[in-house]
Copies of this chain bind each other. A is one copy, B any other.
Amino acid sequence: MVNFIQHAANQPRWAVEIWKRFNDKELTHSMAHYLQAVAGLKQDKGHARVGDIADRLGVSKSGVTSMLRSLSARGLVTHEPYGCVELTDAGRRLARRTESNRHVLTMFFTSILRVPQEVAYEDACMIEHLVGPESMIQFLRLTAFIGSDDPAAERFRTAFREYQHHCAGKEADRECPVCKEGRCLAETFPGLVGTFDEGPLK
């Protein structure tokens, strides 16, 4: 197991470079949802008009108009005034990808991490447009494999479930392969677990 603690060091230099890339991602969170709304409407009723999108997303029609201008400028939709909205090929690809991402992440959160459904939906929705394709394909592989009927996967599921149950009790246990030297997860990674279960702060 890689050393957790060592990596807990403060934000390194490169972090700044990455941080600044947040705002020039291909898609903002809003844009991703507009694209998905257009794709969904197209599928549901054959066409997407400004009012439909506004209803679906719960925003004003003027908001839709201005967002369509942005998406148009990026070549993701076409939209002549007072007409229907169409996805371009690039727009369609991005919409599909974002949906796939949310879908895979939701599966991962519910069936592997086993968090409550609402939590899974929320977390998946928040990050669906931010996780890169390399990681996404691996999320899919991991989810598919853990859920498969490969004997190693089946055994793993059982063992992991037992471990979680044990670990939730937070009792140090020399028998547990994750608890090192009788220190359970919470003590093995001091200051790490504790940061998670304080709940929302405000």
- Measured CB to CB, the residues of A under 8 A from B are 1-2, 4, 7-8, 10-11, 14-16, 18-22, 25-26, 29-30, 33, 36-37, 39-40, 43-44, 56-58, 74-75, 90, 93-94, 96-97, 99-100, 103-104, 106-107, 109-116, 119-123, 125-127, 130-142, 144-145, 147-150, 152-153, 155-156, 158-160, 163-164, 167, 177-178, 185, 188-189, 191-193, 195-202
Q: Given A37-B11, A106-B7, A155-B155 in contact, is the A1-B163 Cβ separation under 8 Å?
A: no
Q: Is the CB of A159 within 8 A of B150?
A: yes
A108 CB to nearest chain B CB (Å) = 10
What chain B residues lie within 8 Å of A16 (beta carbons)? 33, 56-58
| Cα distance, A12 to B53, chains bound together (Å) | 14
Q: Given A1-B144, A126-B127 in contact, is the A22-B18 Cβ separation under 8 Å?
A: no
20 additional A-B residue pairs with CB within 8 Å, beyond A4-B103, A19-B30: A2-B110, A2-B147, A7-B107, A10-B39, A10-B44, A11-B33, A11-B99, A16-B56, A26-B202, A90-B201, A127-B127, A127-B131, A138-B164, A145-B160, A145-B164, A148-B178, A150-B159, A153-B159, A153-B177, A155-B155
| Cα distance, A88 to B34, chains bound together (Å) | 38
A133 CB to nearest chain B CB (Å) = 5
| Cα distance, A8 to B195, chains bound together (Å) | 34
A14 CB to nearest chain B CB (Å) = 7
Q: Is the CB of A40 within 8 A of B11?
A: yes
What chain B residues lie within 8 Å of A201 (beta carbons)? 26, 90, 93-94
Q: Is the CB of A140 within 8 A of B196?
A: yes
| Cα distance, A68 to B148, chains bound together (Å) | 49
